[in-house]
Amino acid sequence: MPDIVHVKYQQTGKSKKTNELGMREMQQKAFEARTAQYLLIKAPPASGKSRALMFIGLDKLVNQGIKKVIVAVPERSIGSSFSITDLKRFGFFANWSPKNKYNLCTPGGETSKVKAFLNFLESKEQILICTHATLRFAFEAIDEKQLNDCLLAIDEFHHVSVDGDNKLGLVLSDVMKKSSAHVVAMTGSFFRGDSVPILLPEDEAKFIKVKYDYYQQLNGYNYLKSLGIGYHFYQGRYTSAINEILDENKKTIIHIPSVNSGESTKDKYEEVNRIIDSLGELDYQDPVTGVLYVKSKETGKTLKIADLVNDNQKERDKIQYYLRKVKKADDIDIIIALGMAKEGFDWPYCEHALTVGYRGSLTEIIQIIGRCTRDSENKTHAQFTNLIAEPDAENDLVKLSVNNMLKAITASLLMEQVLAPNFKFKPKFPEEDEDSEEEEGVIKIRGFKLPTSQRAKDIIESDLNDLKAKIMQDDQMLKAMPGNVDPEVISKVLIPKIIKETYPELSDDDIEAVRQHVVADSVLKASNIDEVGDKRFIRMAGRFVNIDDINIDLIDTINPFQKAFEILSKSVTASVFKAIQETIDATRIQMTEEEAIILWPKIKSWITKTGEQPSIQSFDPQERRLAEAIIFLKEQKRKVAANE
C-alpha cells in the first residue's frame, strides 16, 4: 500500500556543518546551556547527542569544578558511542579519553561491574561509562553524597519513570534530592507510551531543556531527500507475507515481533529461518564474524545477513563486533533483530526499517525510524514500514486487532507531525491590517489564546508532540477516530479532559491555551498551504480558507482524525472495516452533558435542513450520535422533572 506519510527535505546541509569547535548545530545549542545543573537534551537519533555530552562533560571537568563524569546507557552495545574520541582535531580544547578499565560496556574487563564502579569513585580517573543496570546496582552500595561534584549523564532517558518499581527513576530522584550532582539527560522522545510520567512536575521544572526537532535534523542533511512511513496489513502468519515488502536491494533492518505479541509465532529462531528462506538459500556462516551468507533466489547474488536474535552470547558478540566495524554499504545487507538495534545503533547505510507488529510507544517508533534516517551517500530516500495483522472479522480477538490498528495509524499520523516543520501560533486581533508583514513560520489565528503561566509556556514549547502522543493514543480518542464523534466534542471535551489529567497544576485558562495549541497544530500540520497570487490559502478537511480568515472556532469544527478515518476505509476490505466499526460502536464512549450541549445546535440545524430528526438506525455514525444526544437530553429532562 502507498505511504501514509511522505515528507520531503531540502538538503541544506545545515545540521551537519560544524563550527570552529567542531560542533554541529544541535551540539552548539546544547553547549550554550552547559552551565545548567540539570539539563535535558531532546533531539532525534543521529543528531549527535553522544558527542554533545562529551563537549558538556569536558567543560564541566575543566571549567566548572566537576570532578567526575558518569555516563549510563541502557545496554552495552550503546557504550561504544562514548568511547575515546579525538575532539582537539576539530577545534575543541580537550579530548574525550575514558580509560578502557572504566568503560564497563566493553567485552571482558572487570568481572564485577559494581566493584569497578565503586573503585572509580575512589580513584583519580574522571570518566566512567556503564549500563543503567550497573548504575542501579552500584547505587545500592554508595551514599548519594559520594556523587557530589559529579556529572551523571543518562542516555535514552525515557527508560526512567517515577513508577515505584522503576529503580532508575528512584536513583535519579535520590541523586537530585540528596547530592549536589549535575545531571544531563538525553532522549529522542519524552513519551514512554504508558501512563507513568518520566519525571514529577516539580523535578521536571528544575531541568533546562534543549530541544532540536526531527525536521531541523533531516532538512539539514546532505543526501537524504525524503522519508516515507507506511503500513502493510496481512492475514495469516507474517513470515508468509514479509516477502511482499522485503526488498533485498535495500539495506534493511527487520525487527521481528516480541514473543508476547499476537504477531509472534512464539518461536523466534524459526521466524528468522523463514525470513532467510524467503530471501534464498543459506550458503555458509563466517566463523569469525558471524555473518550469514545467503544466495538470493531472485537474483543469485550473495546477501550478507546479521542475526541479532540469537541468544548465544559468544555468537552475538562476534556479529556485534563486526557491525561496529562496518565501513561501507557492501559490508552488510540485512539485519534481523528483536529487542536490539533500536536505540543508539548506528548503521548509516540503512534505507529501510521494517518492523513487524504494533509498537505502543511513540519513543520506540522514533528510535526504530532513526535506524534508517542517518544521512549517507548511498541513499536519497529512507523508509519505515510496519507490518501489522489485519483484523479477522470472524476472530474473537478482533477487538484487540482493531485497537492495535488504530494505534498504529495514529502513531504514524503523529510521526508526520513530528517530521514536519514547526509552526508558531499567535492571536490575530480585529484591528490588525490584513496586509501587515508576515512572520516566517507564524500563523495568526483569530480568537487564539496564549498561555499565562511559565509551566504552560514550557509545555507548548517543549512537550507538545509528547502531549499529542498521549492524546492520540488514549482509548477514548481511538474510539472517536472513525468519524462517530463530532469534531467539536473531540476538541472541546475529550482533549481538555486529557490535558487536565496530564497537567493537573494548570489553570482553566492555561488548559484552554494548551488545548488550542494542540488542536491548531494537529489540524494545520495535516493541511496544505497554497499561494494564489499574493494570497495564501489553507486546505483543511477538503475546503479552502484564506489564511487571513482562520479562527479557532473554524479549527474546532475539523476532525483531527479525519485522515486516519480515510486511511482505514481505503486500507482494509469492506468486511474488515465493518468489523472495525462494530467493535468501536460496541465500546463507544458514553454521552456526557458537555457533549450533548455542543451537539444541541447541530441537532436543531439538522432538523431545519432535513425536516426530520436524526435517526438512531442511520448508517452515518454522526447522525446516530445526534440521535443518541436527543435520547440523552430527553432522559436528563425526565430526571429533572422527577426531582421537582
- What is the tens place of the pLDDT at every residue in 184-231? 999 876 555 555 666 777 777 889 989 888 888 888 999 999 998 887
Q: pLDDT-based confidence at 288, cuts 50/70/90? A: very high
Q: pLDDT-based confidence at 575, cuts 50/70/90? A: low
Q: What share of the chain is helix, strand, coil (3-state, %, to 5)?
A: 45, 15, 40
Strand partners, 252: 334, 352
Q: What pLDDT score does 393 carry? A: 53
490 against 129, higher pLDDT: 129
pLDDT above 70 for 544 = yes
Q: Give whole-number Cα distances, 610 to 486, 606, 624, in Å.
A: 18, 6, 15
- Tell me the per-residue pLDDT of 365-378, one tens digit each, with 9 for 90 and over: 878 888 898 999 99
pLDDT above 80 for 343 = no
Q: pLDDT-based confidence at 89, cuts 50/70/90? A: very high
Mean pLDDT of 356-372: 78
Q: pLDDT-based confidence at 397, cuts 50/70/90? A: low
Helix (H) or strand (E) holding 489: helix 487-489
**Residues listed for the chain:** 644
Q: pLDDT-based confidence at 422, cuts 50/70/90? A: confident
pTM to 2 decimals? 0.76
394 against 539, higher pLDDT: 539
> What is the set of domains in the chain, with CATH numbers?
12-212 (3.40.50.300), 223-389 (3.40.50.300), 420-470+481-496+505-587 (no CATH), 590-644 (no CATH)
Backbone angles phi, psi at 445, to 5 degrees: -125, 130
pLDDT above 80 for 484 = no
Q: What pLDDT score does 158 carry? A: 76
pLDDT above 80 for 580 = no
- Asked which of 108-112, 122-126, 445-449, 453-457 is least confident by mean pLDDT, the reply is 108-112
- Asked which of 34-38, 321-325, 378-382 is least confident by mean pLDDT, the reply is 321-325
Residue 485 gets the label, from left (phi > 0), alpha (psi -120 to 50) or beta, of beta
Of the ranges 249-263, 397-411, 520-534, 588-602, the best mean pLDDT one? 249-263
Report yes or no: 290 and 315 within 8 Å, Cβ to Cβ: yes
Q: What pLDDT score does 261 carry? A: 77
Q: What pLDDT score does 404 carry? A: 67
94 against 537, higher pLDDT: 94
Q: Which residue has cell 507490518? A: 387
Q: What pLDDT score does 527 carry? A: 75
Q: What pLDDT score does 473 carry? A: 73
Q: Give whole-number Cα distances, 160 to 166, 558, 590, in Å.
A: 7, 36, 35
Q: What pLDDT score does 516 carry? A: 94
> What whole-number distance in Å separates Cα of residue 612 and Cα of residue 616?
12
Written as one string, the DSSP assignment of 92-144 is: -SS-B---GGGBTTSSSS-S-HHHHHHHHHHSS--EEEEEHHHHHHHHTTS-G
All three cell numbers of 409, joined, read 495509524
Q: What pLDDT score does 107 carry? A: 67
434 against 590, higher pLDDT: 590
SS3 385: strand
pLDDT above 90 for 276 = yes
pLDDT above 70 for 563 = no
pLDDT above 90 for 76 = no
Q: What pLDDT score does 292 carry? A: 95
pLDDT above 70 for 88 = yes
Of the ranges 105-114, 228-237, 597-606, the best mean pLDDT one? 597-606
Q: What pLDDT score does 62 carry? A: 96
> What whole-number distance in Å separates Cα of residue 21 and Cα of residue 41?
19
Q: Give whole-number Cα distances, 71 to 81, 154, 271, in Å.
A: 11, 6, 36
pLDDT above 60 for 306 = yes
Q: What pLDDT score does 474 carry? A: 79
435 against 600, higher pLDDT: 600
Mean pLDDT of 347-364: 83
Report yes or no: 163 and 154 within 8 Å, Cβ to Cβ: no
In 461-609, the DSSP E strands lie at 528-532, 535-540, 543-546
pLDDT above 60 for 259 = yes
